[in-house]
Amino acid sequence: MFSGGDTMSRFGATIFGCSGLRLTSAEKAFFKSADPFGFILFARNIDSAAQIRALCAELRDCVGREAMITIDQEGGRVQRLRPPLASQWQPPLEHIGAAGAEAAARAMYLRYAIIAAELRALGIDSNCAPMVDVAEEGTHSFLKNRCYGFDAQSISRIGAAVAQAHLDGGVLPIVKHIPGHGRARADSHLELPTVSASAEDLMRVDFAPFKALNHLPLGMTAHLVYAAVDAMPATLSPRMMEVIRKDIGFGGLIMTDDISMKALSGPLGGLSRAALAAGCDVILHCNGEMDEMREVAEAAGHMGTAAQARADAALLMRKTPDPVDISALNAQLEALIGGRLHG
């Protein structure tokens, strides 16, 4: 179904959403011209299995290659695919609590092995997970129950299991939100959070799971200000990008969180240029609004040499998995944590 790294030229430094269940003629022409690295799907793009497969085929046909198609399928509150198209899950933090510390990593591996199989069956070959932000008691409610725990060590272990389940299932994981969103007391979809923790505490706690997973192929930034490092949001901060690359050691492709989120202010073209200048590789734009996409595409242009190399390396990790028996995976999961799996 999928192949990796078959590039003839540099991809557009963008990942775009689309407006509906099938592409409009304007979208087809735009995507052919912009040649984005990949695409992202949302609930507005979801109806039936046949429709999703057809949409994925249309998106890839526009760029003439097996472009990466991603989605937010964490399970729980954040999952774009719902029954009967995919399993319904408890939020991650609740699922981990039900599994208990000893079984948590294995339970989450099985959970995301199922999710990966369900995505692949629909033509989707990436997922915006694992999410290894470290939760605190005061973590904002939009994020808290999506986290994997309250300590960096256990989150690193569970995050590694989640990432491996994706890779084993032929789905590219996107680790988020680099370098850590757990201390935020505001929803970055709506406003810009500022974190005041010391650089030492950030490295010891928040940044630690990302350092443990710095070998993963893809990562997504956090639209947060880390005052101990820089007054600029991480997505736009050359200083924070240097921390991510050198101190955290993340070597994969870095995409922004959605560039149109309210945490960032200013014209989208200017924000896109600033993010790329800071060190991001790809601009993620999610809402499918054509005028905005044109502005972002014009500003972003095509990937630089280093970004293209990271993109090619990521795609080479995409493989065709062995056949999966979802009912058998569910049986293993049931054996671990009984009837407390699904939402």
Rounded to whole angstroms, the maximal C-alpha distance in the chain is: 52
Q: Which of 68, 112, 105 is nearest to 89 (CA)?
A: 112
Peptide bond into 179 cis (omega under 30): yes
| Active-site annotation holder among 125, 206, 247, 257 | 257
Q: Are 224 and 184 in contact (CB under 8 A)?
A: yes
Kindly report the length of the chain. 343
Is 166 a residue of the active site?
Answer: no
DSSP 8-state assignment for residue 69: E
Q: How far apart are CA 241 and CA 234, in angstroms?
A: 7
Output the CA torsion sign for 204, 207, 209, 214: negative
The H-assigned helical ranges of the chain are: 25-34, 49-63, 92-99, 104-121, 152-168, 199-201, 208-212, 238-242, 268-278, 290-300, 305-316, 326-337
| Active-site annotation holder among 6, 151, 189, 215 | 189
DSSP 8-state assignment for residue 133: P
Chain-centroid distance of CA 136 in Å reads 21
What phi and psi, each to the nearest 5 degrees, are found at residue 291? -60, -40
Is 206 a residue of the active site?
Answer: no
> What does 194-212 look like in DSSP terms, one character per residue?
EE---HHHIIIIISHHHHH
Indicate which residues carry an active-site annotation: 189, 257
